[in-house]
Amino acid sequence: MRYVGDVAVGAVGLGAMPLSIEGHPDEARAVATVHAALDAGVTLIDTADSYHAPAGGAPGDGELLVARALAAYGGARDRVLVATKGGRGRTSDGGWTVDGDPARLRRAAQASARRLGVEAIGLYQLHKPDPAVPYAESLGALRDLLDAGTVRMAGVSNVDVAQIRLAREILGDRLVSVQNRWSPAVRDSEPELRLCAELGLAFLPWSPLGGISRSSLDGASAQAADPRFGAFHRVARERGVSPQRVALAWALARSPVVVPIPGASRPETARDSAAAAELALDGRELELLGP
């Protein structure tokens, strides 16, 4: 288990983005994927109002899918923390926009709460700083949402050290998480990870399998081994597990504040990722995989 604020969650979460953007599975398989993750011990599900297909989709499709999957789940749901994000959108050609306008962020969070069917969103994250809006103003919208009880905890995403410190100044201890891209292949958020450990913030790496698998944001979900990261495949062969599981175990070993949120679009993938929480790498393996 790891902590997001005062909420204990499974050490590996589920990134629900692949379940609702372009190339997403059908409803039955998407719901089965969420259920498989929950059965395997996942209790953090991450989505966003912008996780929808650019053609034929609508804002909030991903949130509605998560809500339907949870409603249909036969097991315990009271321990599940659903995190969503606001501040981004999609264009008709598949691109991504950024909108940090405080009034629109407040409306977006209220709409997300309605779609998720909750009185208060467990974790609401500002998806990305908007260069056209002072970051403090966007963070002020999160503070307003916390004060109003629309959201219970707040997080920030795609940020640098200075932006994390500003968020902490404005939101205080109600800031509980940082979600940046970080993986075997993309390690430029090491300073942010160190700051999260110092401040006790959960660090939720998105696309944590970079270098082992392609990200959905790279336009492909197919497995693609990168020869630069052969050590992960070597350890996987020795252990008799997938290299993806090794990559997640490596991430967990880096810091107790790390809670990776790998995406999944099949039940098998969700189960394999969750099993990384039980894979303890030894010192030789960690040295082989690198700092």
Residues tagged active-site: 51
219 alpha carbon, distance to own chain's centre? 18
Task: Tell me the three state secondary structure of residue 82.
Answer: strand
Taking the CA atoms of residue 110, residue 19, residue 38 and residue 114 in that order, the dihedral angle to the nearest 10 degrees is: 20
For 94, left (φ over 0), alpha (ψ -120 to 50), or beta? left
Q: What is the C-alpha separation between 270 and 1, in angstroms, rounded?
A: 17
| DSSP for residue 159 | -
Task: Tell me the three state secondary structure of residue 89.
Answer: strand
Q: Which two tokens stand for residue 228?
A: 């630069």
Q: What is the C-alpha separation between 250 and 254, in angstroms, rounded?
A: 6
Q: What is the C-alpha separation between 271 and 243, in angstroms, rounded?
A: 14
